[in-house]
Structure 1
Amino acid sequence: MKAAVLVQAGQPLAIEDLVIDTPGPHEVLIRTAACGLCHSDLHFIDGAYPHAVPAVPGHEAAGIVEAVGSEVRTVKVGDAVVTCLSAFCGHCEFCVTGRMALCLGAETRRSRGAPSRMSRPDGTPVGQMLNLSGFAEQMLVHEHACTAIDPEMPLDRASLIGCAVTTGAGAVFNACKLVPGETVAVVGCGGVGLAAINAAKIAGAGRIIAADPLPEKRELAMKLGATDTVDALSDTATAEIVEMTKGGVDHAIEAVGRPSSAALAVGALRRGGTATVLGMMPLTEKVGLSALDLLAGKKLQGAFMGMNRFPVDMPRLVDFYLRGMLDLDTLIAERIPLERINDGFETMRGGHAARSVVVFAQ
């Protein structure tokens, strides 16, 4: 199979022919249909987040099940599926208390010393990134890293649900538990932020304020449900949000991964409001609340992957799309073949478009 391989951090991905293993117990072999380019991938490619190489990135994917190993019970050959990097064991403390996204169950990963799922033709092991490796024509994953969806769902749009939409919408539905009529500010209008805006509209938010420095991103936000926009880099951005909401928002969602954008989210809160940080920040950075923020009852939380329960959440998001409520078409800026993946990441570095999606020949 062809795959995009990270050979060395800071270098473009290399298109290589790799060999993929057959499914073991609880494993699913998927023919990849599409995989979105996520900023998280870029963190690994650029070396901001360390990872052993060579490895195949990509984690926002959808495809068709080609084969299943013994013990697989949740999907079958021919199913359309979406993958998710937050694989779950189903019986640890986090899983049984409904926080599946926090599961660290080792049984969803191959044990130390077991053969790699992927290798070069000469036998050199190639690592699987985030348990998925979606920038490849095939994926071999644990059955608890994918879920079946309605076969009517277009798979290029379904791929976005694997990360950006699950994270952004999940923050609204699962972490914020937004009540209809509450006000929301979203800082950063990339794929995750735009999905959060769309979800806030679905949830019945009274006012949705999109903060981004780029006019074209703010325009996309209005199309997806924002009622107001501000320039996130303006010196008056916080004051503008507080003024237009007469005291601040109930929920502020940070979807960039910078301390300054987290500070904007906290500053935009009303008394008792909650800031939810989704962006991947440099590992040495810290964000927090001042003593005055604490006196005002403000809260700060993370929401890894939208705190999803993806076997339930993803089919619901698919249903939202099929019923015309979730706008995934607007999120896709371009569809590209695997051979143009480095061009797609260059587009991402420019920051002016929403999502690029690699589409594989079927």
Structure 2
Amino acid sequence: MKAAVLRQVRTPLQIEDVQINKPGPHEVLIRTAAAGVCHSDLHFIEGSYPHPLPAVLGHESAGIVEMVGSEVRTVKPGDHVITCLSAYCGHCDQCLTGHLSLCTSPETKRDASDEPRLTVPGGNMNQYLNLSSFAEQMLIHEHACVAIRPDMPLDRAALIGCGVMTGVGAAIHTSSVRPGETVAVIGCGGVGLAAINGAAIAGAGRIIAIDTSAAKDNISKAFGATDFINATETDAVKEVLEMTKGGVHHSFEAIGLSKTAEQAFNMLRRGGTANVIGMIPVGQTITLMGAAFLGEKRIQGSLMGSNRFPVDMPRLVDMYLAGKLKLDEMISRRIKLEDVNSAFEEMKTGAVARSVIVFDA
């Protein structure tokens, strides 16, 4: 199969022929239909986060099941599925207490003594985030995908697999936004727009979008923002505090910078919660004023929207088909696998929300 391979950090992905194995007892072979080009992939390409190389990248995807292992009970051949990088075992303490996205059990991966899922002539190929979806096929654990209704377009379903689940889940699950509360979202890329959409679905009374690109004004409001702040023209923290007369109930940092994480905390009202969704590079720290904690302000991380994806993703599909979840507006362009490097270059400009690789294009 054709796949986009990262062989060395800070170099373009290479389109190569990669061999994929047969499903083990709890594994599923999927024909990839679409894969979103996510900023998380860029972090690994640029070396901000380490990963064994070479590796087939990609983790935001949807497709059709081709083959299942002997013990698989959750999906069957022909099912349309969304994948999720937070594969879960189903019986560790995290899973049994409802925190599926925090499962770290090695059971969802192959043992070192097993044949690898991916290979190339002369060596192994590392699987990325349990998925490796920049490829024509994926071989994954059955608890890394969920079946969805077949009338859902798979190019839009792919977005739910990471960016949308991360943003919407951060608002609804991690921070529990309630009707009438105030929200600020820093960074209006794919995840930030999803957080805005999630806050709107949750009934937030005021949603303030913040970005350094003036072009994000209209699109953020299409996703549910009530206000927009251009952070290049004003002090975003001061502006939020003035607009809300004391700060917001919830803030969401969707960029991955120490500075913006600090801003997210500093724009809170007493008792507010700052949620860091963005991937702050390894080794970076944030600095907060200790006295602020006397006002019961909180700062926390959010991993994949604190999802219970077998339940959440089919519900998000229903929300999209009911006109509540915005996905069409998030896709900036549809591309072929061979165009993946140009998609990452466009991503760096901040001009696109999401490029989606469509494998039948």
- 1:145 aligned residue: 144
- 2:93 aligned residue: 93
| Aligned residues of 2:201 and 2:324 also touching (Cα < 8 A) | yes
Q: CA deviation at 1:109?
A: 0.6
The letter of the residue matching 2:272 is G
- 1:202 aligned residue: 201
Question: Could you state the TM-score of these two structures normalised by the residue count of structure 1?
Answer: 0.98
SS at match of 2:129: helix
Q: Work out the CA distance in 1 between the residues paired with 2:84 and 2:359.
A: 19
Structure 1: gaps of 5 or more residues: none
| Aligned residues of 1:238 and 1:264 also touching (Cα < 8 A) | yes
- 1:47 aligned residue: 47
Q: CA deviation at 1:54?
A: 1.1
Q: CA deviation at 1:113?
A: 2.5
Deviations 1:291-327 (A, max 9, x none): 2210111011111111101001100100000000001
- 2:14 aligned residue: 14
Q: Work out the CA distance in 2 between the residues paired with 1:255 and 1:321.
A: 22
| Aligned residues of 2:253 and 2:264 also touching (Cα < 8 A) | yes
| Aligned residues of 2:275 and 2:299 also touching (Cα < 8 A) | yes
The letter of the residue matching 2:115 is P
Q: Work out the CA distance in 1 between the residues paired with 2:323 and 2:92.
A: 36
Q: CA deviation at 1:67?
A: 0.3
| Aligned residues of 2:58 and 2:131 also touching (Cα < 8 A) | yes
Q: Work out the CA distance in 1 between the residues paired with 2:79 and 2:357.
A: 20
| Aligned residues of 1:183 and 1:251 also touching (Cα < 8 A) | yes
- 2:360 aligned residue: 361
Q: Work out the CA distance in 1 between the residues paired with 2:333 and 2:148.
A: 23
Matches within 5 A, 1:82-231: 82-120=82-120, 122-231=121-230
- 1:331 aligned residue: 330
Structure 2: gaps of 5 or more residues: none
- 2:57 aligned residue: 57
| Aligned residues of 1:289 and 1:300 also touching (Cα < 8 A) | no
Q: Work out the CA distance in 1 between the residues paired with 2:284 and 2:101.
A: 22
Q: CA deviation at 1:234?
A: 4.4
- 1:348 aligned residue: 347
- 1:272 aligned residue: 271
Q: Work out the CA distance in 2 between the residues paired with 1:241 and 1:334.
A: 33
| Aligned residues of 2:10 and 2:47 also touching (Cα < 8 A) | yes
Q: CA deviation at 1:235?
A: 4.7
- 2:74 aligned residue: 74
The letter of the residue matching 1:106 is P
- RMSD over aligned CA atoms reads 1.1
Q: CA deviation at 1:199?
A: 1.0
Q: CA deviation at 1:174?
A: 0.5
Q: Work out the CA distance in 2 between the residues paired with 1:91 and 1:233.
A: 48
SS at match of 1:131: coil
| Aligned residues of 2:9 and 2:45 also touching (Cα < 8 A) | yes
The letter of the residue matching 1:81 is V
SS at match of 2:329: coil
- 2:294 aligned residue: 295
Deviations 1:263-318 (A, max 9, x none): 11111110100000000011112235422210111011111111101001100100
Greater Cα offset, 285-294 or 53-62: 285-294
Q: CA deviation at 1:150?
A: 1.0
Deviations 1:207-239 (A, max 9, x none): 000000001122210111100011234452111
| Aligned residues of 1:186 and 1:209 also touching (Cα < 8 A) | yes
Deviations 1:42-88 (A, max 9, x none): 11111111111111010000000000011001001000000000000
- 1:26 aligned residue: 26
Aligned length: 361
Q: CA deviation at 1:10?
A: 1.1
Greater Cα offset, 227-236 or 9-18: 227-236
| Aligned residues of 1:187 and 1:232 also touching (Cα < 8 A) | no
| Aligned residues of 2:259 and 2:286 also touching (Cα < 8 A) | no
The structure 1 segments of at least 4 consecutive aligned residues displaced by more than 6 Å after TM superposition are none
Q: Work out the CA distance in 1 between the residues paired with 2:42 and 2:3.
A: 16
| Aligned residues of 1:28 and 1:65 also touching (Cα < 8 A) | yes
SS at match of 2:318: helix
Question: Could you state the TM-score of these two structures normalised by the residue count of structure 2?
Answer: 0.98
